[in-house]
Amino acid sequence: MKFLLLLVFLFQTSLTITSEPNAIVWIDEIRRGTTDASGKLTLTKVSPGRHSVRVRAKGFKETTAALVPGRRALAVKLLATTDPAELKFQEAEAAREKARDQASQENAADLYREAIKLRPAFPAAHVGLARVLMDLNQFKEAHSAIDAARRTRPAYAEASAVEGRIYREEAFDDDALRSFRRAIREGGGVQPEAYVGMAKVLEDKGRFAEAIVEYKKALAQLSDSEPVIYQMLGAAYERIEKPKEAVAAYEKYLELAPNGSYAAAIRSILNQLKREAEGEQIIP
């Protein structure tokens, strides 16, 4: 397995996607970034093989395109949309991402509800609503939103991952693990949100070595697009007293997010961890 992962890493190539400006790009249902003002996004790590590329931009119909092996550039043309449900959903997604307080979260929830009213069979809107309701600690309503998503799309990896997060917030760890495992099955093994969720539940149970395994699976799929997971990985290594590995994880976080929210705290503890790692190497 390690050899196969090494081969995948060695043969990763860059990919430039061209579409509308400020378009969100997913590869195999993993969000990989946003195009710039010229409509371009260059990804430095894309594994070989066939991939599905999904692109969404405000005011346009969401489009999925196939990326065939060997291609290093892909142009995804989006068509303008007047679909009121799609436009309201896009508005809700933008509001959720910007929400920082209860009032803005409730506003996002209302926008999702408006989109669902316009198109009741709208699984992505139901899942978006569930995410907001979870943040508002409205867990019963969040579960109802997940159930509504599944009525239209029974096998929905993202819905199962969000369901797992809701169960974890409710402290139903075993139910959370079942949902995360279901998400991974539904995603064909590709569901980093579920792997991170499993890691957090395992940490809640004090099973830090097992959590580290799940964090690593998530990182292998995210191609360094979520630096915060390196912070989580470093903290888990600290809990099992592996300072050398913790240092490596923290330094990777700083490399990817030098001005990130955890950067100052990590810099303040790195010297101590490095001393511990050096001591670990000296002791026979």
Give whole-number Cα distances, 256 to 230, 251, 259, 264, 265, in Å.
9, 9, 9, 14, 15
Tell me, what's the pLDDT at 51? Answer: 86
CATH number of the CATH domain containing 15: 2.60.40.10
Residue 125 lies in a domain: no
Does residue 133 belong to any structural domain of this protein? no
Structure tokens at 155: 């096998």
Domain that holds residue 30: 2-75
pLDDT for the residue numbered 7: 39
250 found inside a domain: yes
46, 75, 104 - which closes a domain:
75
At residue 174, the pLDDT reads 96
Identify the segments of the chain with pLDDT beneath 50. 1-11, 282-284
Indicate the residue among 51, 75, 99 that finishes a domain.
Answer: 75
CB contact set of 74 (below 8 Å; sequence gap of 6+): 15, 16, 17, 18, 53, 65, 67
pLDDT of residue 175: 98
Q: What is the pLDDT of residue 12?
A: 58
- Residue by residue, DSSP assigns 94-132 as HHHHH--SHHHHHHHHHHHHHHHHH-S--HHHHHHHHHH
How confident is the model at residue 280, as a pLDDT? 60
Last residue of a domain, one of 26, 46, 75: 75
Determine the Cα–Cα distance for residues 219 and 202; give it in Å rounded to an integer. 17
Q: Residue 140 domain-assigned?
A: no
| pLDDT score at 193 | 97
> Rounded to a whole number, what is the largest CA-CA distance in the chain?
69
Overall domain count for the chain: 2
Residue 209 forms part of a structural domain:
no
Does the residue 106 lie in any domain? no
Tell me which residue has tokens 């690593």. 216
Examine residue 65 and state whether it is found in any structural domain, yes or no. Answer: yes
Q: Is residue 193 part of a domain?
A: no
